[in-house]
Amino acid sequence: SLVLLLITIVILFWDSIKSKPESVVLRTEHKTEIHSKQNETAQILLNEQDRAWLAQFHQIVDQRLSDPTFYLPDLIEAMGTSRTLFYRKVKNLTGLSPSEYIREKRMNRAKELLENGELTSIKEVALAVGIQRPKYFSKRFKKRFGVIPSSCMMRECQRTP
């Protein structure tokens, strides 16, 4: 009877037991709207150690963003964690895989550079965000923002999914 009661309780509360609050600090622009309530809660839930780890992570990514030879093993080594822990921690804290996070940072930085007119060619922008092939850059940019990079140079970069 006690076992049956426990099983019933576990079944009723399974969703709350198995799901932990997402510790989401950063979301890409298109994901932020969907998860805004979770973000507010998650920012409060981060402990000081996670905040320090995330700050170091952001700093390293920002410093090396324009480096086309910057790969995840370099970032994992710089963070001083195991590969498994690194992937898990980045996913829990940002809501994105490490590769997705770096790609989003690069695309968002590229959009800034294009909109501000800081650089005059697509090739320069691609290189500035660590992507060596302008064609690949244009493809990723269009996939992310729904417009080609050159239209952002002309201040038409309004459509973002």
Q: How far apart are CA 58 and CA 149, in angstroms?
A: 25
Give pTM, 2 decimals.
0.67
Q: Which of 83, 28, 17, 91 is nearest to 54 (CA)?
A: 91
What pLDDT score does 78 carry? 92
Q: What are the pLDDT tens digits along the chain (161 aa)?
A: 555 555 555 555 544 444 444 433 344 444 444 344 444 444 545 678 888 898 999 999 999 999 988 889 999 999 999 999 999 999 988 889 999 999 999 999 999 898 888 787 899 999 999 999 999 999 999 999 888 898 887 665 654 44
The DSSP secondary-structure symbol of 21 reads P
